[in-house]
Chain A
Amino acid sequence: MAQFIEPFSHFVIPTKNINQPPMRSPRIFVLEPDNDVRPLLKHNLENWGYQVIMALDEADALQRIREGGERFGLILLNQNGRSIDEIIAIGRQIRQSTELDSRAPMIVMAERYGVELEGQNIQVGENEYVTYLEDGQQLRNLLALLCPV
């Protein structure tokens, strides 16, 4: 059942302990077929402190996971001409292809929606979310919640 996420101002992001050894940046697996959007998404994610593994399409995504064998903390997908259900199914396939990260959260960025959905993040399954972006900060906040830097 769909569930709305609480406003982000209620969440406290833990601060780093200076005595701890430096941690590696969280790694996000991104499926973004659009040539215009891909470099902007990569730039923003890296600017927010994430490592990015970028796949161009479903086949590329599955191949990268099989070959790479690396862990990642979150899967991010752009709806990009498919239905939300189709894109979630692709995300699950990506997640299932890597046994180590079977519980990695998944975010789908919705493509077409009205003002009534703008600004909403809706949980649609276990650790699966659809975000209806009002602006880029909303994505940053959702990532900070699900995959803190």
Chain B
Amino acid sequence: MKPENQILANLSADVFQRLAPHFVYVNLEQGEIIYRPGEPLSHLYFPLDCLLSLTITMQNGATAEVGMIGSREVFGINAFMGRRETTQTGCSSQVAGSAIKIDAQVVRQEFDRNGELRDLLLRSTQAFLAQVSQTAACNSLHVLEQRLARWLLNTQERINSNNLPLTQEFISVMLGVRRAGVTLAAQKLQERKVIQYRRGHVQILNQAGLEASACECFQTIKTEYDRLLGEK
């Protein structure tokens, strides 16, 4: 049976069977560091129900999320794009859960000799770039309430759950904004009965309402993923 990561699910049975002996199923805790900037990239991670964050930390210690990696993505695209390390971005688990880990060397070899895998991984990279670039524009142009709604929707889509185990402190770090901003934006959404926040848990109560509260960016990213990788 194929796992619930969209990239792995898109592989043909033949390619999947070639990679499957190298799969290692892992459980990742919230906050677990997957990768530090500058380290050689030893493994790729295909999240099943966990959520990973690509983050950049500035010289003054301020951190912000620059990309989200869940059941629609893979962590470790550098492994098949040239150099096997990145100098800026780190990766950690923001929602605990399971993932499939695979040796980067194995993927690189298959990438070089297998056109189907290469095409799929490049399409997934294109989708991820769409997410990163749309998010960069969103963070510059849209108000915090819209960005929070977009971020919650992206998270929900990637962990397949309306219950998001996230503190407001954590969300504020991911969005690169002050905590009070997240608290007050969440209050607006809560008073509209779109979400409910209770000590470290956000529950999405009204999907359509949350989408209406978000900017266009959630739908734009989703449409691009659906186009490149198929609907989830």
Contacts and interface: CB of A to CB of B under 8 A. Distances in A.
Contacts of A16: none
B143 A135 contact: no
Interface in B177-220: 177-181, 183-188, 190-191, 197, 199-200
A37, A78, A115, A137 — most chain B CB neighbours (10 Å):
A37
> 8 closest A-B pairs (Cβ-Cβ)?
A136-B187, A40-B184, A37-B181, A36-B144, A36-B181, A133-B183, A36-B177, A37-B180
B183 A80 contact: no
B191 A47 contact: yes
10 contacts: A34-B180, A37-B184, A43-B188, A78-B178, A80-B178, A111-B180, A133-B180, A135-B197, A136-B186, A139-B187
B145, B181, B197 — most chain A CB neighbours (10 Å):
B181
A40 B181 contact: yes
Interface residues of A, number: 23
A60 interface: no
Interface string A36-70: 11011101100100000000000000000000000
Interface string A100-118: 0000000001011001001
Contacts of B179: 111-112, 133
Given A36-B144, A44-B188, A135 B168 contact: yes
A40 B144 contact: yes
A36 B190 contact: no
Given A40-B145, A80-B178, A135-B183, 6 more contacts: A37-B181, A43-B184, A47-B191, A115-B167, A135-B168, A135-B197
Interface of B: 143-145, 167-168, 177-181, 183-188, 190-191, 197, 199-200
A109 B172 CA distance: 15
A115, A134, A139 — most chain B CB neighbours (10 Å):
A134
Nearest to B187: A136
A137 B186 CA distance: 10
Contacts of A36: 143-144, 177-178, 181
A112 to B, nearest CB: 7
Contact of B199 (A39, A78, A80, A118): A118
Contacts of B199: 118, 134
A40 B185 contact: yes
B187 A135 contact: yes
B224 to A, nearest CB: 26
Contacts of B184: 37, 40-41, 43-44, 136
Contacts of B181: 34, 36-37, 40
A44 B190 CA distance: 11
B144, B184, B188 — most chain A CB neighbours (10 Å):
B184
A135 B180 contact: no
Contacts of B187: 40, 44, 135-137, 139-140
